[in-house]
Structure 1
Amino acid sequence: MTVRAVGAVLAVVVALGLVACGGSDDAERPRGTGSATTCLSPYDAGVSEHSVTVDGKRRTYLVAAPDERVLKGTLPVVYLFHGLGSTAADVIDYTGLAALADERKFLLVAPAAKGKDREWDVTGIAKGKGQDATFIDDVAREVGSQDCVDDDRQFAVGLSNGSGVSIALACQGPSYLKAYAGVATTFYSSACDGSPPASIIYFHGTGDEVVPFEGGKTPAFDVRAVPDVLADWADHDGCAADPTLKQIGKDVERSTWRDCDDQARLEAYVVDGGGHTWPDAAVPYPTLGKTTRTIDAATLILGFFGITKG
């Protein structure tokens, strides 16, 4: 993440807080093989750039692929969305997920927002409308059509504005995505009520000055308190109202909701004094506040997705 990107993250805008949700249909999405026992990876090892055309304009995305080209089994896919003012390359480096893509054998796909501010249209994505929604769907269609991509293990994760994207995708209705993760921005709208129960893992710091944990007014927008939004998701998922709490180290509390409908899972980590940061980020940014080392968000997210070593 560049210094300019860090500064831009601090200028998070209204789109993070004003998400409405709708539906989308992935019935025509091409599918990968999903059943091969030995596969040739469809992408070169390391990080490579690819593109699709949306409304006549070239849109890019990065793919981080395992070093091995010949693989035992198919590849899960994790779609990673960057924050406002950041880039796909920034968020790949910052989260440390690229190294884990090689270690745990999955494809990490990081689409890039467009424009000077590199801001995602979260509201449009939630409704399944607009250029960003089309772009994300086209990327998923392109990646999902490759041989050796696992149809049943595709997931979304994001940071800040990108976290809004990830959770907005959970509001679109039946989806190729099986679970969602977010760091430092969440939301719930009554428009999400018609979507199926969604499995979500979420992280937020109580010292976040960009998207305040307790909600309230900011220079850019009003936000709701994180516990209130999580309670809405618990109700949406049909979970027992009161989560099970567990203290982890000195500064992290985990909440786990039980008995959710359709085997949905809801889990949240609250970092005491944590800033607008990714827990155990590869590179700390003090201007964004405290970065906890008590937990590793990347490892916890992949575990939640069922993407493990070996």
Structure 2
Amino acid sequence: MATLNWNTSNITDQSGRVVIITGATSGLGKEATKILAGKNATVVMAVRNTEKGALVATELKSAFPSAKIDVRSLDLGSLSSVKDFAAGIHAAYDRLDILINNAGVMTCPYSKTEDDFEIQMGTNHFGHFALTGLLMPLLTKTKASRIVATSSIAHKQGKIDLEDINWEKRKYSTMQAYGDSKMANLYFAYELASKLKDDPSAPLVTAAHPGWTSTELQRHSIMFRLFNPLFSQNVAQGVLPTLRAAIDEHAKPGDYFGPSGFQELKGSPVVVKSTGLSHSDANAKKLWALSEEMTGVQF
């Protein structure tokens, strides 16, 4: 793929384009909002805490006075919130150019979402699955639209138990559950890309991971807090795979972007390979059917 040292200078003017970024109040989501709003896109910050979102929007507008930022409430752990958010978007906008499914929770204590899903799978996968499905009519209506799924290096340890996806029969492992949710993000991206491959009006589906990037997401992990100073990169670098997945005109359906450096921990964004298991068509199809059943959202 062209451009080995891809960076924000490769992002052209985004005037007239509408972008939704989930989890946009901190970390990668905030950085992506800053960059795309600075390139003149209209950015919808889809956030749980709208007060915090408003503060972030004010901060970003002080740097970019002409920025178009729309703060809207979205709790990915609540299907009713996802439906309300999607309805609001359909009412307010007649196009959607980019959907960046960025929000997530990581290695948190065991709990369940409002809809009785294990918290990490429920937030990181099921919530985004439902959101994307509900926004698909607007994405399909918009020429050259794109969907970006945010995964992680942790997908490499993912091995989803489709018979116990909510961890009701097993002893809970928060790191395993996180890896499973990040594997689910890739199954979703690859299966959706496959489903849309023969539809010329369909959005392009890509995926990305930020390598080892120091963010608020890691607050529950002592290991990450301990080793961040040695191995991590900052959010300005960590967000580049996501932005390249969202913007690069050379991207192909199902491309997975990550850092180019050792073990994909840091470096310039390039197309990388996910595990062999992440390309299991059988697993992806089973998870898709389960996701439609559990969320009640069909594409």
Q: Indicate the TM-score class for this superposition, using the shorter chain for normalisation.
A: 0.3 to 0.5
Higher helix share: 2
Higher strand share: 1
